[in-house]
Structures are given as structure tokens and as C-alpha cells.
Amino acid sequence: MKTNDATSAIPGKGAMSGVKVLDWTSYQFGPVASSMMGDMGADVVKIESLDGDIGRAVARMSSRPIGLEGGRNAYFETCNRNKRGIAVDLKTEQGMRIVHELVKSADVFVENYRKGVPEKLGVDYETLKKINPKLIYASGSGYGPDGPDASKPSLDGCGQARSGLMMSATFDGQNEPSYVAGAVSDQMGGIILCLGIVSALFAREQTGKGQRVDVSHLSSSMWLQGLSVGMELLSNYQFGSMDRKNPLNPLVNAYECGDGRWIQFMSAQFERYWADFATALDITQYIDHPFVGEIKGMTAGSPELTRIIAERFKTKSSDEWVSIFNEYEDLIFAKVQYVSELKNDPQVIANNYISEFEHPTLGTTKMCSFPVTFSDTPASIWKEAPELGQDTESILIEELNYNWEDITELQNTGSIL
């Protein structure tokens, strides 16, 4: 589905129409939060230093093949769509004044820098709320605003490590912790930060007051594992990694098929699903076998039964098994896919979970859609990530009443590009 048609690509049609966001962020955590607001129709202005968000250099830093035409890179484009861009030097008095003037008419200010950096540059909460008491000031941090590590730097892997997420993804007997690809601690942090901002905007409608919102790698990654954390706190029950050779319930397990692909089963109610599962596998002789008895009580698994099931899966390809299991409408399972397969998944296509829009440099471009479907205020991808300082002049002239002489002076003093 192309999202930049005459009706869906116009900013201001989404659920956050009329909201103005100032986005002083870098890397992924903060940019994701503001980009989500842009998807929902907010007017997002990305504020960068004169050398740009460090996310623009990820392709060079990581030596990954993510560079695109025109000096763009997939990392920055993904995290910064639906934004205008301004480049100012906050270390100059003129640059700081520009941001303060923008704050006067803003609804939200988003940042994800180390504690102390915003204060040093005059864009901290205490300073900005004096300029605009109704401002929602949103911070993304590593470990939260208080405590002994509040000022420590953090990137995605630190959030995964500190929150226990790495160990949750690590199998028993594995010597090294597992890193979940895609910077999920950053991504989850951005999602939760966006939620916090939207909630604070709703509260402002009731009270007329702005406030500060703070989300950290630690808090959001803990919430991502909320069931595990909550159950451990309540009952000391600890979720461990699954032993695929002897799961507590063999109907909650992943099995390798004859073509090397895997199918994940999540039919948690063993007694309800076992007969259908065994029939589909053509192992009905085991439906009432003695070594199934303890599993029905959910007190122990059976390595012998799991081995029989695993061997049976090896006799057909994953697609053949999917076709068979689809005849049993109650069985709960999914074929294990690669990210590269999502664009061809019929459910992804049917629900427009991947969108197309016309990028001025890259042409027709596909991106992951906003994850929420709205019946009346659809989210959309209507604009590419801005080039560095792309809208500086137009914003200063059209929104802050600067003239071209002012622009020249600011450029000469190094306050803007």
C-alpha cells in the first residue's frame, strides 16, 4: 500500500494532528519516539548540531552495508521519517535562542542525552518549562533520572544486559549471553517514551499543565519482560530458557522440519490440543500412552515423547506440515520466519504492515508501518528523514519571523548551517 496518496500522506490527518514536537535526539531511542508521533500526524522538527545526529554516521561506524544513494543510510531513514530538520549550534547564544523561541509554541520536547548535557546547553526541563509551562518534556535515559547510575551513558546492549533481557534470550547450557538483534532495547524505549508523551498530553488536557516524562533502557526492557518480572516478584517463579529436548509441555516447543525450517507450537492446554496434534502428526497410538500421563498434569515433560514428535517432524517440509496443521483450526502454531520474508507474508500484505512511499532520493521505498490501525485517523509515512539542516531557513523565516539578513548573520557566526 502506498501511504503518500492524496488522502493519507498529508501531515495533520492522524491522531496527533496539531501537535508540535521538537526532537533533539540521536541514535534510535529518542528518534523512534518522535517518528511514531510523526506517523500519527504530529509536526516533528528534528534539531541537530551542525555535524548532525550521530545516527547519520552509523553506516561508517559499524562498517555495515546500510549506505544508500545520496549519502543516506537505512538506519537514519528508518528512525527519522516524517520529520522536518533544523541544524543549530546550541553552544552559541544565537543557537540556543532559536531553540528557546521554538519552544514557546511547542507541545513536546524530546531528548535522549546523558544527564547534565541538556543543563549545560540550556535545554533542560527546568529552563524550558519557564519558557513554556505547558510543555511536555520527554527524556530517554539509560538507567532512569535518579540513583547512582543516573548519569551513566547507555546504548542498546547495555539496556538488554542490565534488564536481564540477554539472559532471558539465552538457552540453558549456552556459555555466552544472547544479544537480541535490531536494538530492541532502543526500540522498546522509543515505544514506551511515545506512550508516556501521549499520556502526558492527555493529562494536560485535564489539568492544563505540562510535565516531565522519563523512560529508560532499564525500565522499558523490564516492562518488555513484564510477565517474567512480575511473576518472579510475586511468587519467586523464574522463567527460564526452554529445553527443546524436554519441554514441560511438548506442545509448547519449536520443531525442525525436513527442510531445515522450524515451526513453533504454542498450544499451551495440553489435554485440549493433544489429540488433534497427535492425529495431525499421524501418531495416534500415543494419544493415551502411559508416558503422556504426567504431562497432562503439567508436572513434567517427557523426553521420549518429545523425541518421537521431533523425529516425526523431520519427515515432511515445513510447508507440508503447515498445510496439515491448518486443517485443525484450534491448533496454535506459526512457522518461524526470517525478517526478510515478512514483505511476502500474506498477513503482512493484507493488513498493510509494510507501507510504500515515494522517497525523493531513493524512489519507491518500503518501510515498516505504524503498528496501530486507526479507523478514522490513520497513521502514515508521508516524508523521508530530513537532510541535515534541510528546513532551517524556512522554519526561521516562516515560523520565527527571521529575515534573510538574519539568516546570513547566523550562518556567518556559525550558529546555523
Structure-model confidence comparison of residues 48 and 300, the more confident one: 48
Are 187 and 131 in a shared domain? Answer: yes
The yes-or-no verdict on residue 4 having pLDDT over 50 is no
Residue 186 appears among annotated catalytic residues? yes
Comparing CA positions, the residue from 151, 85, 147 lying closest to residue 120 is 151
- Which residue intervals of 243-391 are DSSP H helices? 270-281, 293-296, 303-313, 318-325, 346-350
Residues counted in the chain: 417
Q: Is residue 325 part of a domain?
A: yes
* Predicted confidence (pLDDT) per residue in 71-81, tens digit: 788 999 999 99
Q: Is residue 384 part of a domain?
A: yes
Q: Write down which residue in 318, 342, 366 finishes a domain.
A: 342
Are 157 and 32 in a shared domain? Answer: yes
Angle subtended at Cα 25 by Cα 202 and Cα 389, rounded to the nearest 5 degrees: 115
CATH number for the domain harbouring residue 287: 3.30.1540.10
Q: Write down which residue in 315, 342, 369 finishes a domain.
A: 342
Model confidence at 7, pLDDT cuts 50, 70, 90, reads very low
Q: Write down which residue in 342, 375, 395 finishes a domain.
A: 342
Q: Is residue 247 part of a domain?
A: no
- Which residue intervals of 68-132 are DSSP H helices? 74-79, 93-103, 117-121, 125-131
Model confidence at 298, pLDDT cuts 50, 70, 90, reads low
**b/e 89-111 (16+ beta carbons within 10 angstroms → b):** bbebebbbbbbbbbbeebbbbbb
Are 365 and 407 in a shared domain? Answer: yes
% of the chain at pLDDT higher than 90: 78
Could you tell me the residue range of the domain that residue 309 belongs to? 252-342
Angle subtended at Cα 358 by Cα 33 and Cα 106, rounded to the nearest 5 degrees: 35
Q: Which amino acid is at 394?
A: S
Model confidence at 338, pLDDT cuts 50, 70, 90, reads very high
- 39, 186, 276, 391: which one is catalytic? 186
**Cα dist from 161 to 33, 220, 231, 367, whole Å:** 22, 13, 20, 29
Q: Are 26 and 33 in contact, with CB atoms under 8 Å apart?
A: no
pLDDT at position 68: 79
Are 269 and 398 in a shared domain? Answer: no
Q: Is residue 13 part of a domain?
A: no
Q: Is residue 142 part of a domain?
A: yes
DSSP letter string, 379-404: -----PPPPTTTTHHHHHHHHH---H
Strand partners, 359: 363
Q: Is residue 139 part of a domain?
A: yes
* Predicted confidence (pLDDT) per residue in 251-289, tens digit: 999 999 999 999 999 988 888 999 999 999 999 999 988
* Predicted confidence (pLDDT) per residue in 82-94, tens digit: 999 999 999 999 9
Q: Is residue 71 part of a domain?
A: yes
Q: Are 45 and 395 in contact, with CB atoms under 8 Å apart?
A: yes
SS3 label, residue 350 = helix
Are 159 and 82 in a shared domain? Answer: yes
Q: Are 160 and 224 in contact, with CB atoms under 8 Å apart?
A: no
Are 360 and 221 in a shared domain? Answer: yes
Q: Are 222 and 230 in contact, with CB atoms under 8 Å apart?
A: no
Q: Is residue 143 part of a domain?
A: yes
Rounded CA-CA distance 177/161 in Å is 9
| Selection from 98-102, 171-175, 356-360 with the highest mean pLDDT | 98-102
Are 185 and 119 in a shared domain? Answer: yes
Are 163 and 265 in a shared domain? Answer: no
Are 386 and 330 in a shared domain? Answer: no
Are 374 and 267 in a shared domain? Answer: no
Model confidence at 297, pLDDT cuts 50, 70, 90, reads low
Are 220 and 79 in a shared domain? Answer: yes
Are 293 and 374 in a shared domain? Answer: no
For the chain, the average pLDDT equals 91
User: Based on the structure, what is the number of domains in the chain?
Assistant: 2
CATH number for the domain harbouring residue 130: 3.40.50.10540
